[in-house]
Amino acid sequence: MSQEKSDWFDDYAEGADDIQIGEYDITATPNDFNVMTLNSFVESGAVRIPGFQRNFVWDIGRSSKLIESLLLGLPVPQLFLYEQDRNKFLVIDGQQRLMSIFYFIKKRFPRKEKRTELRAIFDQYGGIPDEVLHDDTYFQPFNLKLPGQLPNHENKFRGLNYSTLGDYKTQLDLRPIRNIVVKQNSPSDDDSSMYEVFNRLNTGGVNLRPQEIRTSMYHSRFYDMLYHVNINDKWRKLIGSSEPDIHMKDIEILLRAFAMLIDGEKYSPSMVKFLNQFSKKSEANTKDQNDYLSALFESFILACNDFPDDIFLNKTNRRFNIAVFEAAFNAASKSAFAERKLIEKNISEESIRRLAADPEFLEASQEGTTRSTNVEKRLNRARIIINFE
């Protein structure tokens, strides 16, 4: 099954009630950071490449042309940074340029076949450890690969690296690059506007999904737990897809299930804000809390063990029915969660079938699915029909 599109689920997610950027006080401030300052930001972790952005894809020729442009004082495209906190920025647009500078100063250029692995290493360590940087399996020397400017006339920068630039090294270090720092001033406790900022300013040609952005904004041990339960074999069978979704829709499904279980009584539209706030809150989870939530989900999967794999798939289009799963998980887990216990009995397959066919449940699942009244109705019908108290 192709995972290029998240086409294996019925989407009861973010609709017209979502982010209105006019609700936020946002500023965009121009700055001129020089090359060394920007590089130090990347090295220190002050500037971070969001997890949903693509790997470094430029070849050594294109990166060399950027460095040449900086050496010659030619204009280069501005960078966009999102200020999450004091001295903490996310790159909205400019990843390829920043990483080209970073690798040139390190005098090492990443091999194409190792870039996905290097991205994981960079995320894990906040940089590239020296032993990896000097491993020729991962990197090759970064000597500028530039054509001659005229026939039989060698480009004066061709073949040079950062250490052999001579007098031009200082010129490169101090070369300013225009960047625009985007910041949300208010409300201070809700950075949901970042969705619109990224979607409007990112120029990678990809329409970013809410969960892709959310995963980057709120990555925590709670999210590590979601990634872990997301690869459970029985869960993958129930969800109807053997591989995790490239746009993280399956992670969003799990996130919604836990959010509704824990904070569902506080829910109010929009779903984007609700899931953002829950993700932010969950950053403070203790290890014990995350371990318990993982065990609770595992006990739910065990309670579904005798179910056919298509129990949560819509009969007409064979897509995963998020509304049925979310309500069933809530109904089966509510009492156990309140007592900090695990689910200890099996769920009736027949009760899931009745829930999926229930007229009131269906009515609340067809229009205005994220309205408070419809969310509450679905959860209440599930508790009555599944009767797991």
Mean pLDDT of the 265-281 span: 90
**Do both 317 and 232 map to the same domain?**
yes
pTM of the predicted structure, to 2 decimals: 0.70
Closest by Cα among 140, 148, 142, 149 to 67: 142
CB 139 within 8 A of CB 133: yes
- Residue-level pLDDT at 210: 78
- Residue-level pLDDT at 2: 38
**Do both 210 and 355 map to the same domain?**
yes
**Do both 13 and 29 map to the same domain?**
no
Q: Give the pair of three-digit tokens for residue 196.
A: 């619109």
- Residue-level pLDDT at 57: 86
**Residue range 109-150, pLDDT digits in tens:** 999 999 878 877 877 777 789 999 999 999 999 999 998 665
Q: Is residue 2 part of a domain?
A: no
**Do both 296 and 371 map to the same domain?**
yes
**Do both 156 and 268 map to the same domain?**
no
CB 369 within 8 A of CB 323: yes
Burial class (CB in 10 A: 0-12, 13-18, 19+), 12: buried
Expressed as residue numbers, the domain containing 254 is 9-17+206-386
Query: Among 124, 151, 186, where does a domain finish?
Result: 186
| Tokens 């959010």, residue located | 259
pLDDT above 90 as % of the chain: 58
**Do both 137 and 286 map to the same domain?**
no
Mean pLDDT: which of 217-231, 238-252, 371-385 is highest?
A: 371-385
Number of domains in the chain: 2
**Do both 322 and 305 map to the same domain?**
yes
- Residue-level pLDDT at 1: 37
**Do both 166 and 227 map to the same domain?**
no
**Do both 40 and 159 map to the same domain?**
yes
Q: Is residue 75 part of a domain?
A: yes
Mean pLDDT of the 12-32 span: 67
Q: Tell me: pLDDT of 364 over 50.
A: yes
Q: Is residue 230 part of a domain?
A: yes
**Residue range 151-189, pLDDT digits in tens:** 666 788 999 999 999 999 999 999 999 999 988 877 666
Query: Among 156, 186, 216, where does a domain finish?
Result: 186
Q: Which residue has the higher pLDDT, 47 or 360?
A: 360
Other residues' Cβ atoms within 10 Å of the Cβ of residue 348: 16
- Residue-level pLDDT at 20: 59
Query: Among 152, 186, 220, where does a domain finish?
Result: 186
